[in-house]
Chains A and B, each alone.
Chain A
């Protein structure tokens, strides 16, 4: 219950003024610029864009600065800003087969056409702190080696399996997908709505659910059929012109998992698939999303309900959004004086009654 109270105004203003001072930190240390955050904390920026559901690296960097590096607070700022934007329309679905890949690996086929391209990855690093980065004025900017580029886009790995009919086909459609930012989420949700919820879902939550499937809670034996990171063009129909143009280019991470079989009396066994697609270079999230997507598909694939959390659509979709979660969680620190007053009175009454009963029993 909320009751209007007055009196905190000056305290709040002063608290925010102190927040601004603490945000700046020691004035003897150079102030961070938004461009520095965008360029040098790019993976934090990518996470804020993905979970904030808005691709704009300058805004995400600004939000990180304002939030003092609290990424959920930054995501909150981006979500709030996003609601102020008029929606010009929807783009054509991106064609990830045409991605200009920075990274493209397959854990299932060593000799995949297009090759295993590692890209700028933390994989195979030793996870030892690099004290050279702590040195002031690092000197020359690092320069990556180059080789002649390969021609043409790398084909999707699942396409090869599909040629042999070894993997379930995705049914193509051009249906307008539901949008949970416009209409309240209704359950049961179809796969497009689930994927929208998962792509903007909290990375930690989706990661943990994915991990739970690997540990046996709705295990489905995922292989990373393919993971690719790179730039794709975004195309939209322009009503004034009557044709589509590219309105921009964005970086995406896509993960396709190849999972254990399904089959029936009419269809031979074949691999099934999970799918993850997120803004920016956000690899852990893309893999997690694909595993959870696959776990949530148990019903349509005729699998058993094991009662696992990752199979429970309501549990997953209603709890994966960190802004909803943090809003409800953090509101309990705001004044609940009247609520608590009534609880106090109740517990005092119960204690009085208990004491009276004891006295009566002692008297008898």
Chain B
């Protein structure tokens, strides 16, 4: 493995790919237009991950329930190993995430970041900002009524 696999960057792009809407990822990946040869080390597999909370938000952990997750691992013909762990039951999503994870360890990283990762991040941030703005519009501005004392 190259040094790139150890950078905190990898945590960032894998997290982004896990949360990306599958249709957006598929569109951007398709437009990127590269189809490197690969073989699965672990074929795409749907499973559950137990989500936990804490008592009183800060105390002891407790089990809240599971979420669906799909994972896969693959090796490019050029040797790089990529992993995909994505939310939901999307085998294509997991495979595309793993392919991108592997390609991000090659000299295609900069092009891939610009063509796929940056637009995904921008879209997620825009969606989050839109909700935050709608929430802000429902924030209560208290004012005190004039009291009838004088």
- A149 — which chain B residues lie within 8 A by C-beta? 129, 132-133, 135-136
Give the interface size bracket for B toward A: 35 or more
Flag whether B65 is at the interface (Cβ < 8 A): yes
Question: In this complex, what residue of B is CB-closest to A190?
Answer: B60
- B61 — which chain A residues lie within 8 A by C-beta? 93, 173-177, 192
Give a binary string over A65-93; 1 marks a CB under 8 Å from any B CB, 0 the rest: 00000000000000000100111111111
Q: Are A54 and B136 in contact (CB under 8 A)?
A: no
In the bound complex, CA of A24 to CA of B88 (Å): 27
Flag whether A311 is at the interface (Cβ < 8 A): no
Flag whether A240 is at the interface (Cβ < 8 A): yes
Partner of A115, one of B58, B89, B139: B139
Give the interface size bracket for A toward B: 35 or more
Q: Are B55 and A88 in contact (CB under 8 A)?
A: no
Q: Given contacts A111-B142, A147-B137, is CB(A94)–CB(B11) below 8 Å?
A: no
Q: Are B88 and A58 in contact (CB under 8 A)?
A: yes
Q: Are B62 and A191 in contact (CB under 8 A)?
A: yes
**A156 → chain B closest CB, angstroms:** 6
Q: Are A103 and B135 in contact (CB under 8 A)?
A: yes
In the complex, which residues 156-187 of chain A have their Cβ closer than 8 Å to any Cβ of chain B?
Answer: 156, 158, 170-181
Q: Are A100 and B49 in contact (CB under 8 A)?
A: no
- B130 — which chain A residues lie within 8 A by C-beta? 146
In the bound complex, CA of A309 to CA of B116 (Å): 56
Q: Given contacts A56-B89, A191-B60, is CB(A250)–CB(B67) below 8 Å?
A: yes
Q: Are A85 and B68 in contact (CB under 8 A)?
A: yes
Flag whether B91 is at the interface (Cβ < 8 A): no
Q: Are B65 and A279 in contact (CB under 8 A)?
A: yes
Chain A at the B interface: SS class? mixed
In the bound complex, CA of A91 to CA of B132 (Å): 26
Q: Are A170 and B59 in contact (CB under 8 A)?
A: yes
Give a binary string over A232-257; 1 marks a CB under 8 Å from any B CB, 0 the rest: 01101010110111111110101010
Q: Are A245 and B15 in contact (CB under 8 A)?
A: yes
Q: Are B59 and A171 in contact (CB under 8 A)?
A: yes
Q: Are A246 and B62 in contact (CB under 8 A)?
A: no
Partner of A117, one of B11, B51, B64, B136: B136
Question: In this complex, what residue of B is CB-closest to A102?
Answer: B135
Flag whether A350 is at the interface (Cβ < 8 A): no
In the bound complex, CA of A177 to CA of B54 (Å): 10
Q: Are A118 and B131 in contact (CB under 8 A)?
A: no
Q: Are A234 and B49 in contact (CB under 8 A)?
A: yes
Q: Are B59 and A117 in contact (CB under 8 A)?
A: no
Q: Are A177 and B128 in contact (CB under 8 A)?
A: no
Q: Are B134 and A145 in contact (CB under 8 A)?
A: yes
- B108 — which chain A residues lie within 8 A by C-beta? none
Q: Which of B18, B135, B140 is packed against the most chain A CB atoms within 10 Å?
A: B135
In the bound complex, CA of A273 to CA of B57 (Å): 11
In the bound complex, CA of A238 to CA of B83 (Å): 10
Question: In this complex, what residue of B is CB-closest to A241?
Answer: B83
Flag whether B46 is at the interface (Cβ < 8 A): yes
- B142 — which chain A residues lie within 8 A by C-beta? 110-111, 116
**A130 → chain B closest CB, angstroms:** 19
In the complex, which residues 1-32 of chain B have their Cβ closer than 8 Å to any Cβ of chain A?
Answer: 5, 10-11, 14-15, 18-19
Flag whether A50 is at the interface (Cβ < 8 A): yes
Flag whether A264 is at the interface (Cβ < 8 A): no
- B15 — which chain A residues lie within 8 A by C-beta? 233, 245-247
Q: What are 13 A-B interface contacts by the 8 Å CB criterion?
A: A55-B66, A89-B50, A91-B49, A102-B135, A103-B138, A116-B140, A145-B137, A146-B130, A147-B137, A149-B133, A200-B65, A245-B85, A248-B86
Beyond contacts A173-B60, A247-B87: 12 other A-B pairs, Cβ-Cβ < 8 A, are A52-B65, A82-B66, A90-B63, A111-B142, A146-B133, A156-B57, A240-B73, A247-B18, A247-B69, A248-B87, A252-B53, A277-B53
Closest 3 pairs between A and B when the two form their complex, measured CB to CB: A248-B87, A170-B59, A149-B132
B residues with CB within 8 A of A = 5, 10-11, 14-15, 18-19, 45-69, 71, 73, 83, 85-89, 128-140, 142
